Amino acid sequence: MKTKPYAVIGLGRFGTSIAKRLFEAGQEVLGIDIDETKAEDAELFLSHTVVADATDERALTSVGILNFDCVIVAIGNNMQSSILTVMILKDLGVKKIIAKALGKHHGQVLDKIGANLIIYPERDMGERVANQLLSPNMLNYIELSNEYNIEEIMIPSKMAEKSLKELDIRAKYKVSVIAIVRDGEILVSPSPKKIIHRGDLLVIIGNKESLAKFSRLE
Ligand code: ATP
Ligand code: ATP
Ligand code: CA
């Protein structure tokens, strides 16, 4: 039987925003919620929604949960339901389970019972906001590891109208520019001769400390 990409269990704000985005990107998404009103509301922007209690193994089996490659458990406040749901999905043999955790202990339990990826929305969003406050020129970032990031940084004004080579960025700041974003266009792998202009964004890879220093330049 052909598998389907995504099922989202729990259509609160978190689950809804995941489901909506996947659906907008052209993916087939099944939304599941125990609350009929939540399921009905989601019908407006999802291809399929069902009302089911995810802590009931038979209910999950009957919606064909095993046909999904990836199941996202977006139940948060009810920790017991979240844990029970992940346990059942794991027992049934679902390959990829992504689950939202409220906090550290909830996350540890989800990890123990075999969730493949655990998301801490409040903690992660808080960190992002703080990082943005600490580095105002940093607009966006991807965490590669504990040590390394890729960051999108507004160029410091004193760097405008100079080339990467003149600025000697790699040697001076120990970071590498992998792309320049200019007027919405992306110039990938810029040559050392490339002149950067006021308003350009640099996509830079490097260790977090070096990036933090770079993003605080005036
Ligand atoms: P969010 O923070 O994402 O807005 P919320 O705070 O509104 O969510 P949660 O308790 O985190 O509420 O639950 C998210 C959704 O999960 C709710 O719509 C709820 O009806 C649904 N839900 C809770 N328990 C189950 C269950 N056993 N089976 C299916 N859906 C459930
Ligand atoms: P390196 O040994 O640092 O790789 P290089 O000797 O190969 O540099 P060039 O490629 O001409 O010489 O670059 C000269 C300098 O220009 C580099 O040392 C670096 O500081 C800077 N530079 C060039 N391209 C980039 C880039 N994409 N990101 C950051 N700095 C760059
Ligand atoms: Ca909540």
| Domains by residue range for the chain, with CATH | 4-122 (3.40.50.720), 131-215 (3.30.70.1450)
Q: What is the pLDDT of residues 114-169, one digit of tens each?
A: 999 999 999 999 988 988 888 888 888 999 999 999 999 999 989 999 999 999 99
Strands of 74-165, DSSP E: 96-100, 117-119, 138-143, 148-154, 162-163
Return the ligand 1 atom nearest residue 56 CA: 27
In the predicted structure, residue 2 carries a pLDDT above the cut 80? no
Whether 54 is in the pocket of ligand 1, judged by its Cβ within 6 Å, is yes
∠ CA 108-114-118, nearest 5°, is: 55
Q: What is the pLDDT of residues 19-52, one digit of tens each?
A: 999 999 999 999 999 999 999 999 988 989 999 9
What is the ipTM for the molecules in this complex? 0.69
Given a contact cutoff of 8 angstroms between Cβ atoms, the answer to whether 149 and 141 are in contact is yes
Distances (CA, A) of 209 to 23, 107, 109, 128, 175: 37, 28, 32, 16, 10
- Residue 1 — pLDDT band, cuts 50, 70, 90? low
Q: What percent of the chain has pLDDT over 90?
A: 85
Whose Cα sits closest to atom 5 in ligand 1? 12
